[in-house]
Amino acid sequence: MAGLSFDLIALQLFTGLALGAIYVLFAIGLSLIFGMLTVVNFAHGAFYMVGAYVGLFLLSLGGNFWLCLIAVPLIVGTVGLVVERFLIRPLYGRGIDYPLLLTFGLSYVMVELVRIAFGKSGYPFDTPEILQGAVNIGVGYFPLYRLFVIGIAAAVLLGLWLFLERTSFGLIIRAGARDPQIVRVLGVNVSRVWLFVFGIGSGIAALAGLLAAPLQGVIPEMGATILAEAFVVTVVGGMGSIGGAVIAGLLVGVVVSMTSLFAPEMAKVSIFALMAVVLLVRPQGFFGRAGLMS
């Protein structure tokens, strides 16, 4: 530890922020769906994985990475609309366990379909040529693509915040998350709002999968690992809290990265240790509200 320089620690911190940006994109979709629909979406990791494979497929057809950044969330988000409308919606009002079990089974179905279509082996996903290499950030050279991931995550968060805070539909979403009965009384079609929210959450998860693909490759099981870590993020940040998901996602990314530097064998364990500490101090997470699960 004594041999570690400040520059190395700073670079590792930036690496943690890049990892945290992936966590944030994944977790805000999970939190958005739970906060609005009170659905614990175990298929969220499968949407993340499908996003990477859809991007891979579009590139094989002659598309480019920039086109994928737009097309992948739209395509997978549309799949999310279909899932909510025909599979999840009939289960509303039957208790939180029913959609949980359905999405749990759906995740296995989606993974098996991808294995049938693309095979069980993984695929490399090349970093776009313009984003290859490294740039000097003052404390050393840092991969340009990781900086790009941080920038995209920041842009998505800004766009989502403007949408939720500055548009009438965003106001309906926030009101529906707090009291859907009142929104119904005011004449709003809450089912349509839920449909739209599930599509947005699924599309953002797919975007996270696409952005993660050049960093880790593309395999059918890639959504399972991040799903467990994303649930840690949502629990630490507070179930249903988008702001909590942002802060917790960045925090988890930094904790994993810094633990990898000082004690690599404890990197994965550190995520759950962080969750345990937070829940002991604040059981509802950073910004969670009591009674949301009831």
Instruction: Judge whether 273 lies within some domain.
Output: no
**pTM given for the model:** 0.93
**The two structure tokens encoding residue 43:** 């298929």
User: What are the pLDDT digits (tens) for 115-160?
Assistant: 999 999 999 999 999 999 999 988 889 999 999 999 999 999 999 9
Instruction: Judge whether 205 lies within some domain.
Output: yes
**The two structure tokens encoding residue 69:** 């950044």
pLDDT at 93: 79
pLDDT at 292: 54
Instruction: Judge whether 260 lies within some domain.
Output: no
Closest CA to 37 of 208, 182, 180: 180
Instruction: Judge whether 93 lies within some domain.
Output: yes
As to burial, measured by CB atoms within 10 angstroms (0-12 exposed, 13-18 middle, 19+ buried), residue 81 is middle
pLDDT at 126: 92
Structural domain boundaries, residue 65 = 11-221
Residue type, 113: L
pLDDT at 96: 84
As to burial, measured by CB atoms within 10 angstroms (0-12 exposed, 13-18 middle, 19+ buried), residue 32 is buried
Instruction: Judge whether 80 lies within some domain.
Output: yes
- Split into its structural domains, the chain has a count of 1
Low-confidence ranges of the chain (pLDDT < 70): 1-4, 176-180, 289-294
Instruction: Judge whether 289 lies within some domain.
Output: no
Instruction: Judge whether 249 lies within some domain.
Output: no
Instruction: Judge whether 48 lies within some domain.
Output: yes
Residues 6+ apart with CB under 8 A from 36: 173, 176, 177, 193, 194, 197, 240
pLDDT at 267: 86
